[in-house]
Amino acid sequence: MIPHPPAAAHVGTIAAQVGRPAPAFALPAAHADGDVEEIALADYAGKWLALAFYPRDFSFVCPTELTALSAVMPAFEKRNCRVLGVSIDSIQSHLEWLTTTPEDGGVGPLRFPLAADVDGAVCRSYGVWDDTAGLPNRGLFLIDGEGVIRYAVIHSLGVGRNVDETLRVLDALISGGLCPASWTRADGTLDVASLLKPRRVLGHFRIEQELGRGGFGVLLKAWDLRLERSVALKVLAVDAEVNQQRLLAEARAAAGISHPNVCAIHSVEEIDGLPVIVMEHIDGDPLFDVLARRRLAEEFGAIAPRLAVGLAAAHACGITHGDLKPANILLHGERGPVIIDFGLARVAGKAARGAAEANPPSDSDARSASARLAAHDLEQTIDFSEPAATIDFSEPAATIDQRAASQDRRRGLSGTPAYMSPEQARGEEPTAASDVFSLGLIFAEMLTGKAWFAGAPIAKILSAVERPDLGEEITKGIPEEYRPILADMLAFPPGLRPTAAEVAGRFA
């Protein structure tokens, strides 16, 4: 036995609450072999901790709980979890109890230490202290490897805890999913995405209706119960192969734009294990649907400059949309067109440009990829921004944020084939000039009522956009007054295209 005098507890000031950091502590603790050491919450970094408060040594219910925990210690250790018992008894009392047989009122050699919170300071910080009894209630806390409380239960003094339930909850927490009542390790977790139906509540959002669905997940209209306003939720599918950091980057990029012709991003949250982008809800018709019914030649003069101004606002923030198309534009009454879904948005930066210059895309890679994309829908977003040799073309291409890549993409296809710029078709990084080319294709469709690449195979589209005379061919069928600006927007070399701000200025 190593002598160790009782030490005062060092207690954090944060209240014990699920989802918040556990109050810090440092307490002397006794082991069954007679050793005594100071144990702190920080000692369990990277591991789970089952912190079990109990009232007194040599009591009646406590031995049944602690011996039950000790009996299944291998099960806790298998889950990378440690156990620590805490009461207001002294270290000497703990040592005596650990060396006394159960027949004589002891617990015998437990497989975990017992800490001495003599003045009850740690018990109070965790909210288990009973002022009337002058003792701690039976509190149990599961604390994750980052020191955050993930589970808490407090029993009155006369009721013991169930160790099997503790292990069940620990398994559920480790699973990382939503676990229904009576869940066990043999059960699967709830597929939250499949439960996103009207009247369901996701966090503090009550779902009202589904607005769209794709490889990225689902877009929902919802009511914000806190702020009492309509919002749109972009919820990432749980099985999507998506880099969540990319999703956050998308939201941060779009959130930096403040303009009436760009959809506002309110927040990015993780709700019930799902990454969710909370956007303003815009009650408007997608331009894609409107163009399917009629052309917009008469309204063109009012809609086109607003689109250009909204796009210019994004470019002024250093943001490229990268996937501009009629499906990503909503028409909203007096507000006019609103650009949404910066699904392939990225912030322009020297690092990204430097990486692109150091690792230029291979034409053979892009063309080989395009040849194998022939079966995909030309109106759907694709994102194969990685070496073509690693792309699994048996997977669906109708995805947003699929095949997530970092800011310094090196090669591959990203965007919507029917509205891609020539440089995107070659697998290069989209730029503001790429957005202008896509906008030019949209303008041409608004004026003629027909998508230029309607019905064409993707491989043919990707080949056609590399023709230097494509802009001249497209503009032959549009009114003379708009032909010069569209011809410039559809120029083959990106450097010859006007900026979005210049496009807007030419409509003034």
The catalytic residue positions are 62
Q: How many CB atoms lie within 10 A of CB 369?
A: 23
Q: Which residues pair with 233 in a beta bridge?
A: 220, 278
What are the tokens at 417? 């084939």
**What is the CB neighbour count within 10 angstroms for residue 29?**
23
Quick one: tokens of 12? 């954090």
Instruction: Please list, residue by residue across 37-65, b when 16 or more beta carbons sit within 10 angstroms of its beta carbon and e when fewer do.
Output: eebebeebeeebbbbbbbbebebebbbeb
DSSP state of 109: S
The two structure tokens encoding residue 431: 């730029």
Contacts of residue 219, Cβ cutoff 8 Å, sequence gap at least 6: 210, 211, 212, 213, 232, 233, 234, 235
DSSP H or E run through 357: helix 350-358
- ∠ CA 232-237-241, rounded to 5°: 130
For CA atoms 253, 256, 261, 263, give the dihedral sign.
Answer: positive
Residue 61 contacts residue 160 (beta carbons within 8 Å): yes
Query: Residue 382's beta-bridge partner residues?
Result: 415
Please give the DSSP secondary-structure letter assigned to residue 492. S
Sign of the four-CA dihedral 66, 68, 70, 72: negative
Residue 486 and residue 308 in contact, taking contact as beta carbons nearer than 8 Å:
no
To which residue do tokens 């043999």 refer? 186
Please state, in angstroms and rounded to a whole number, the distance separating the CA atoms of residues 144 and 309.
48
Between the two ends of the chain, the Cα-to-Cα distance in Å is 88
CA 369 distance to own-chain centroid: 29
The secondary structure of 251-276 as a DSSP string is: HHHHHT---TTBPPEEEEEEETTEEE
Bridge partners (DSSP) of residue 286 are: 330
**489 φψ region: left (φ > 0), alpha (ψ -120 to 50), beta (else):** alpha
Strand partners, 154: 139
Gap between the Cα atoms of 222 and 208, Å rounded: 5
